[in-house]
Structure 1
Amino acid sequence: MKVGLLTREYPPDVYGGAGVHVEFLARELGSLTELAVHCWGEGEADGVVRHRAWADLDTANDALRTLSVDLSMAAALEGRDLVHSHTWYANLAGHVGKLLHGIPHVMTSHSLEPLRPWKSEQLGGGYALSSWAERTAIEAADAVVAVSRGMREDILACYPAVDPARVHVVHNGIDTDLYRPDPGTSALHRHGIDTSRPYVLFVGRITRQKGVPHLLRAARQLDPGIQLVLCAGAPDTAEIDREFRTLFEELGHTRDGVTWIPRMLPRPEVIQLLTHAAVFVCPSVYEPLGIVNLEAMACGTAVVASRVGGIPEVVSDGTTGLLVPYDAGQPERFEHDLAVLLNHLAADPRRAGAMGTAGRHRAVREFGWGAVARRTLDVYESVMELRKN
C-alpha cells in the first residue's frame, strides 16, 4: 500500500505532541507500507518531501500560508493509494488530495479547533479559516482516528455530521527504549538545577492549552524547598508570552529555585530532566491525550495532571500519578489543588517512586509504537476494503 503521510511537524522541526506522534508512527509504518512523508520545510530526502508556503504569502496570515502548503502537498500525492493527514495544518491537503486523486483520506485528530477558541489570539481571522479547513476535512474523511476515547467523544460532539462508525480510537504511543530512566545528571548541572533539592518539572509550549499561567500561580503555594523547572518555549502569541514572563518574574521575586529554560531541548537532555524530577506536572486545560505524560511515565516519574480530555486514559489516578479536576469557572480552586498535590508527592519520595515505577510498567505494557502502527494499518485496510465494496 502506497501511503502519503501529511504533517506540519517532522524532524528536526518538532515542537509538540502531534509532531512526536508522526515521527514515531512514520518510523514504524515505513516497514509496513510504502510510505512518503510530506511536511513543512524545504527539500526532499529519504522519503520525506518538504513543502514551503508560497513566497508571495510570506507576510500574510498564517492560515493563508497553511492553505498554500496544503495545495502543494495535495499536488504531490499522485500515485498514492491512501492519504493520512495530521492536524488542521495538513487536513485540507488530505481532503483536496482525496478529491483530486480519487484516494481515501484518513485523518488523525490531535485536537479540535472548536475547543481551542484561544487560537483566535494567534491566528486572528485565520481562526475562521482553520476551523473551516478542519470541518471540511473531518466531515468528508473516510476515517477519523481519535487519539483517545475522550477525543472521540469530543469529535462526535463538535461534528455531529460525522458517522460514529468512521471514528476509530488509536492511542498515542511511546518509545520506551528511547524514553527510559537516565541516571546521568549533566543536563541538570548545565541548566543550574540544584540536585540536592526536589524539583517539579513542566515540559511544553507556552500556550493557553497547556495551562502554564495556572502553574505559575499555583507555584506561589509550593513548599520553599521545592524547585520549579520550566522547559517552556514556542509561545503561541506575543500576549501569552508577555503574560508568562510577567508571572515568571513575579514568582522569582517571592522565592528561589525557579528555573526557566526558554527553548525546546534536545531529547537526551529532556529525558534526564524527566528522570530526576520529583514530580512531572501537566496543568493543561485541554488535552486530547497528553503524550508528554507518557514520556514522563516511561522515564519512571510520577505525574500530577489535570483531569481533562484523554489524560485519565494515560495517568491512572492514585497509581501512576494524581489527577486534579479542572473547572474553567474556578481557576483559583484548580491552582490551589494543583499546588497541594505537587507538595504532597514532592514530600513523599517513596510514594512518588512507586508511582513512577508503575508508570514505567504501564507505558511499556500498553503504549508501544509498534502496536499503534499496526492499529493504524488496520484502519487503512478497513478503509481500502470499504472502497472495494
Structure 2
Amino acid sequence: MRVGLLTREYPPDVYGGAGVHVEFLARELRDLTDLQVHCWASAKGGESGESGDGVTRHAAAPGLADANEALRSLSVDLSMAAALADRDLVHSHTWYANFGGHAAKLLHGIPHVMTAHSLEPLRPWKAEQLGGGYAVSGWAERTAIEAADAVIAVSHGMRADILDCYPVLDPGRVHVVHNGIDTSLYRPDPGKEALARHGVDAKRPYALFVGRITRQKGVPHLLRAARELDPGVQVVLCAGAPDTPAIDREFRELVAELRALRDGVIWIPEMLPRPEVVQLLTHAAVFVCPSVYEPLGIVNLEAMACGTAVVASAVGGIPEVVEDGVTGELVAYDEKEPAAFESALAGAVNRVVADPAAAARMGEAGRERAVSAFGWDAVARRTVKVYESVLTT
C-alpha cells in the first residue's frame, strides 16, 4: 500500500500536537506501508525537495512571500498534490494540508483520508492571526472534509464536533483513532539538570504548563488562576510561539502582574528539547492544561506517561484521556464564567499539591493508562484499517 502523508509540521519543525502525532504515526507506518511524507519546507527559509528517508519538503510559491498565510498554504498544497501521482492513497493532517489531499484525490483519482486535529469553525480566534485568511482556511477544511473518503477524529468528542460542524457528512465515514504516546520516550526521569538550568527550585513544588501561547490553550486563564495558588507553589510556564502580537502582549502583561504578586514564576519562552521537557514533567507536582478547546490534548498524555498528576479543563477529548479522580482532576469550563473556571482551576491545583501521596497515586495511574491504552503501534494499526476500508470500497 503506497501512502502519501501530508502535513505542515514534521521534524525538526514540530510545534504542536498535530506535529507530534504525525512524527510518531509516520515512524510506525513505515513498517506497515510504503510511506512518503510530504511536509512544509523549514520555517527558516528551507527549499523544496527530497530530504531523505522518504520525506519531501515543499516551500510556498516565491511570488506569495508577502501574501496572507492561508494563500501560501494553498500554494504548498498544490505542490504536494502534484507529487502524489504514484500513491494509492493520500492522508492529510490539519487544514494546512487538507486541500492538498483533496486536490490529489481529484487529480490522481485516489482516496483521501484526513485526520481532524481541530476544526476551523470552533477556533474563531484564528481570525486574529489569519485575518481574511481565516475564511480561506475554513473553506479549505470544509471542501476537503465533506469530500474525503474517510475522516479520522482523534477522540469521540472530536467526532461529535465534526458531525455538528459538517452535518452533510455520512457518520459512517467518520472514524475514531485516538492520539498516542511513546512511553519509552516519555517516562519518569530522575535527573534534574533541566530544573537547575531554567531556575526551577527542586525543593519547592511547582505547577507546570507546556504549550503554545494561543487562545485555544487558555494560558491567560492559568495566569489569573495562579493568583489563588498556595504561595509555596512555583508556576513554571514552558510557553512560546504566540499566535499574534496581541496575545503575546497579553501574556507578558499577565506574567508581569503575577510576578508582582508572588515569587517563583518562571517563564521559559523557547521550545525545549524533549529530554528537558520530560524532566520538567517528571518533577512537577501537577501538570495543568487550561485549554478552552482541545480535540484530545496529547500534552496531557505526555504528562501522564511521565507519572505526573494532571489538572485539566473538561473540554473536547480531554475527559477521554484524563480520568477524573484517578489520573487527575477535571475542571468544568464555561466561556461565560471565566472567573469561576479560574477559581476552580486554582482550587484543583491546590488540592493536588497539598496531598503528595494522592498525587503520586494519580501519577502512577496515569502512567499505567498511557502505556496500556495509547501506544503508537496500536494507533498505526487502527489507521491502516481505515486505509484498507477506503481502498476496498
- The alignment's TM-score, normalised by the length of structure 1, stands at 0.99
* Whole-Å separation in 1 of the counterparts to 2:137 and 2:81: 17
**Post-superposition offset of 1:272:** 0.3
Give the corresponding residue for 1:191: 198
- Cα distance per residue 1:232-274 (max 9 Å; x no partner): 0000001100000000011111110000000110000000000
Give, in whole Å, the separation in 2 of the partners of 1:77 and 1:83. 8
Whole-angstrom distance in 2 between the partners of 1:134 and 1:157: 14
How far apart, in 1, do the equivalents of 2:311 and 2:162 lie?
Answer: 26
Match of 1:19 in 2: 19
Render the CA deviation track for 1:59-100: whole Å, top value 9, x for unaligned.
110000000000000001010000000000000000000000
Name the residue aligned to 2:345.
338
> Aligned residue for 1:383?
390
What is the alpha-carbon distance in structure 2 between the residues aligned to residue 316 and residue 256 of structure 1? 32
The Cα of 1:289 is off from its aligned counterpart by 0.1
User: Which residue of the partner structure matches residue 259 of structure 1?
Assistant: 266
Tell me the secondary structure at the aligned position of residue 287 of structure 2. strand
User: C-alpha distance in 2, partners of 1:371/1:270?
Assistant: 25
Which residue of 1 is the match for residue 40 of structure 2? 40
Within the candidate set 211, 217, 228, 2:224 is matched to: 217
Deviation at 1:46, TM superposition (A): 1.2
State yes or no: 1:88 paired with 2:95.
Answer: yes
Q: Distance in 1 between matches of 2:86 and 2:213?
A: 40
Amino acid at match of 1:127: Y
SS in structure 2 of the partner of residue 184 of structure 1: coil
Deviations 1:194-226 (A, max 9, x none): 001000000000000000100000001111100
Deviations 1:135-177 (A, max 9, x none): 0000000000000000000000000011000000000000001
CA distance in 2, matches of 1:60, 1:348: 53
Which residue identity lines up with residue 123 of structure 1 in the other structure? L
Secondary structure of 2:184 counterpart: coil
In 2, distance between residues paired with 1:315 and 1:249? 31
Partner of 2:296: 289
Instruction: Report the Cα distance in structure 2 between the residues aligned to 1:351 and 1:270, rounded to whole angstroms.
Output: 23
Q: In structure 2, which of residues 277, 281, 284 is the aligned counterpart of residue 274 of structure 1?
A: 281
Distance in structure 2 (CA, Å) of the matches to 1:61 and 1:253: 39
The aligned runs of 1:349-364 (5 Å cut-off) are: 349-364=356-371
Residue ranges of structure 2 left out of the alignment (5+ in a row) = 42-46
1:66-215 superposed matches below 5 A: 66-215=73-222
Instruction: Give the residue type in structure 1 aligned to 2:30.
Output: G
Counterpart residue number, 2:44: none
Give the SS at the match of 1:49: strand
Where does 1:294-313 land on structure 2 (aligned, <5 Å)?
A: 294-313=301-320
Q: 1:319-377: per-residue Cα shift (whole Å, max 9, x none)? A: 00000000000000000000001011111110100000000000000000000000000
Amino acid at match of 2:348: L
Secondary structure of 1:200's match? strand
- Identity of matched residues, %: 77
Deviation of 1:299 after TM superposition, in Å, equals 0.2
After superposition, give the CA deviation of every residue in 1:92-150 in whole Å (9 maximum; x if it has no partner).
00000000000000000000000000000000000000000000000000000000000
In the TM superposition, 1:317-336 aligns within 5 A as 317-336=324-343
* TM score, norm. by length of structure 2: 0.98
1:229 and 2:236 matched: yes
Q: Which amino acid aligns with 1:232?
A: A
* Matches of 2:232 and 2:259, distance apart in 1: 14
CA distance in 2, matches of 1:75, 1:168: 27
Residue 55 of structure 1 deviates from its aligned partner by: 1.2
Q: In structure 1, the residue corresponding to 2:185 is in which secondary structure?
A: coil
**Aligned partners of 2:211, 2:173: CA distance in 1, in Å?**
31
Unaligned runs of 5+ in 1: none
Q: 1:63 aligns with which of 37, 54, 70?
A: 70
Partner SS state of residue 179, structure 1: coil
Q: Structure 1 CA distance, aligned partners of 2:355 and 2:204?
A: 13
- Structure 2 counterpart of 1:10: 10
Aligned residues: 386
